[in-house]
Amino acid sequence: MKNLLLACLCILFLGGCSPHPSSGIWKAEGDNKLGIKSLTVDFGGKAVFTSSKVKPATWHCFWSNAGEQTAEFDCTPSTNTEMEERFVFTVKNGEIAELSQDGELIGRFLRAAGNPIIP
C-alpha cells in the first residue's frame, strides 16, 4: 500500500513538471507583419523577440498559460517601456506555432533546437 501511494505521488509530481508546449526557441516561417525572425519562450515565464518592421524594438515579455496549447504574452517594447501590448502564441502541433495580436495573425513559427534560457 505504501509503495502504491509513493508511485501515485511520483506520477503526479512528474506530470505537473512538464513544460508548456510554447516553451522553446522558434524561428519565423518566412516573412511576417512585424519582421520577427525568431522568438524565445523560456520555461520560467519570460519571452523575448525583436521586431524590425512596424514598431521596431526588442520586446520583453512575461507569458502565462492561456490553455493547453496557448500562452498569452504581456510585452513591453524597448522603445517605450511605459507601453504594454498583449500577444497570443498558439502551438498548432509540437513543431508549428502562430503569434497573433487582437485576433490578427502576425506570423507562423517553427520550433528550433536549443535551450530557451533568457537571463
Question: Any idea what the Cα angle at residue 52 is, between residues 119 and 60, rounded to 5°?
Answer: 25
Band (pLDDT 50/70/90 cuts) for residue 17 is: low
d(CA 9, CA 20) in angstroms, rounded, equals 21
1-23 average pLDDT score: 54
pLDDT at 94: 85
In a domain, 43, yes or no: yes
Output the CA torsion 47→53→56→61 (10° steps). -20
Please check the confidence at residue 10 and state whether its pLDDT lies above 90.
no
pLDDT at 93: 87
pLDDT at 16: 52
87-93 average pLDDT score: 95
The domain in which residue 92 lies consists of 20-112
Which CATH number is 44's domain given?
A: 2.40.128
pLDDT at 115: 86
In a domain, 1, yes or no: no
pLDDT at 58: 97
Please check the confidence at residue 96 and state whether its pLDDT lies above 70.
yes
Total domains in the fold of the chain: 1
In a domain, 3, yes or no: no
Give the residue from 18, 20, 19, 28 showing the smallest Cα distance to 96.
Answer: 28
d(CA 91, CA 70) in angstroms, rounded, equals 6
54-67 average pLDDT score: 94
The conformation of residue 19, written as its DSSP 8-state character, comes to P
Please check the confidence at residue 12 and state whether its pLDDT lies above 70.
no
In a domain, 14, yes or no: no
